[in-house]
């Protein structure tokens, strides 16, 4: 029997690439997305496209049960669904903060809570959570997003220890900036709806200008390289927890490993302080 993976947020970007990667290597794939009409990928007997808003815990329970029932087992869940937020914390409306945490933190928690009994009953399972380089080095003007992705990493590390001895592994994939998805465009569109403040205008301009700087070839990850890393993590038997992808994410990891005083000095040099 072919193994089965459930992927959240499969309409575009990483999720779409991840679903395609697992299909390519012969897995059964449950591609979940809020609007199944947005699925434009291939069709296959090994593919089930299922509607899912990860913020809805009952819908998550139903989707996980459907996946296990349809293909006879569920081996991996990939918690990919997420949204970005670029804005000063002070001017960010509370409902936007809640939306980020509901989607990026509580959504994956709903999926894992639903999947664990299935994994335990069949004797094995893998959880792949998408975090970010922002979890390692929190970014100014991305405080809410950084906090959410930091929560995902810390929860994952603790969860991995809780599941010791149950043959259920937790993996965390941390991409840096990936320009070949619409994530930045969607994040920027959300930013334009937030009230502006002149206090932060110079910092905002400098940060946005920084995104326009062309990095060296191969420095940044692509949606395909992220999908390849997620597949590698899902099939890795070593017990490894953290997988950074993209030279920028790896650089952030090295920076964070410095002694605290050196790290704080690096932050002052690296980030524009206005």
The catalytic residue among 145, 153, 200, 243 is 145
The correct CATH number of 4-270 out of 1.10.3720.10, 3.90.1150.10, 3.40.50.720, 2.102.10.10 is 3.40.50.720
Q: Sheet of 4-7: strands edge to edge?
A: 47-51, 28-33, 4-7, 76-79, 125-130, 168-175, 242-245
**CB within 8 Å of 189: residues ≥ 6 apart:** none
pLDDT at residue 109 is higher than 80: yes
Q: Is the pLDDT of residue 234 over 70?
A: yes
> Which pLDDT score is estimated for 179?
82
The mean per-residue pLDDT over the stretch 166-187 comes to: 87
Average pLDDT of the chain, as a whole number: 92
Whether the pLDDT of residue 273 is over 70: the answer is: no
Q: How far apart are the C-alpha atoms of 2 and 26, rounded to whole Å?
A: 7
224 versus 272: which is more confidently predicted?
A: 224
Evaluate if residue 274 carries a pLDDT over 60. no
Distance, CA of 38 to CA of 33 (rounded, Å): 8
Active-site residue among 131, 143, 146, 249? 131
Residue 37 has pLDDT above 90, yes or no: no
Place of tokens 């679903």: 19
Beta bridge partners of 33: 51
Q: Give the pLDDT confidence score for residue 196 in this predicted structure.
A: 73
Q: Is the pLDDT of residue 108 over 90?
A: yes
Q: Provide the token pair at 78.
A: 């990939």
Residue of 17, 149, 200, 223 marked catalytic: 149
Specify whether the CB–CB gap between 75 and 125 falls below 8 A: yes
Q: Rounded to the nearest 5 degrees, what angle is found at the Cα of 242, between the Cα atoms of 237 and 243?
A: 90
Residue 47 CB-half CA count within 13 A: 20
**For 13, phi and psi rounded to 5 degrees?**
60, -140
pLDDT tens digits for 132-174? 999 999 999 999 999 999 999 999 999 999 999 999 999 999 9
Domain ranges of the chain: 4-270
Residue 205 falls in the annotated catalytic set: no
pLDDT at 272: 56
What pLDDT is attached to residue 261? 96
In terms of Cα–Cα distance, which of 112, 111, 130 is closest to 56?
Answer: 111
235 three-state secondary structure: coil
Determine if residue 72 is left, alpha or beta; phi over 0 gives left, psi from -120 to 50 gives alpha, anything else beta: left
197 is catalytic: no
Active site (annotated) includes residue 131 = yes
pTM, entire model: 0.93
Question: What's the N-to-C CA distance of the chain in angstroms?
Answer: 58
Mapped to the 3 state alphabet, what secondary structure does 148-182 carry?
HHHHHHHHHHHHHHHCCCCCEEEEEEEECCCCCCC
């Amino acid at each position: 029997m072919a193994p089965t993976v459930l992927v959240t947020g499969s309409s575009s970007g990483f999720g779409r690439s991840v679903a395609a990667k697992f299909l390519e290597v012969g897995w059964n794939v449950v591609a979940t997305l809020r609007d199944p009409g947005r699925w434009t990928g291939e069709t296959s007997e090994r593919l089930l496209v299922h509607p899912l808003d990860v913020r809805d815990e009952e819908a998550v329970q139903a989707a996980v049960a459907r996946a296990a029932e349809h293909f006879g087992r569920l081996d991996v869940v990939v918690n990919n669904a997420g949204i970005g937020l670029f804005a000063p914390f002070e001017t960010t409306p509370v409902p936007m903060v809640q939306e980020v945490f509901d989607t990026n933190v509580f959504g994956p928690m709903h999926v894992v809570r639903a999947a664990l009994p299935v994994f335990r009953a069949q004797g094995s399972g893998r959880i792949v959570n998408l975090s970010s380089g922002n979890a390692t080095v929190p970014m100014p003007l991305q405080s809410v997003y950084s906090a959410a992705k930091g929560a995902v990493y810390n929860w994952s590390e603790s969860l991995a220890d809780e599941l010791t001895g149950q043959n259920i592994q937790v993996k965390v994939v941390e991409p840096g900036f990936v320009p070949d998805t619409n994530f930045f465009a969607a994040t920027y569109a959300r930013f334009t709806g937030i009230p502006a403040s002149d206090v932060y205008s110079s910092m905002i301009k400098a940060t946005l200008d920084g995104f326009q700087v062309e990095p060296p070839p191969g420095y940044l990850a692509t949606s395909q390289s992220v999908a390849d890393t997620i597949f590698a993590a899902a099939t890795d038997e070593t017990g490894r927890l953290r997988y950074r992808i993209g030279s920028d994410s790896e650089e952030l990891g090295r920076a964070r490993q410095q002694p605290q005083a050196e790290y704080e000095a690096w932050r002052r040099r690296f980030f524009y302080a206005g």
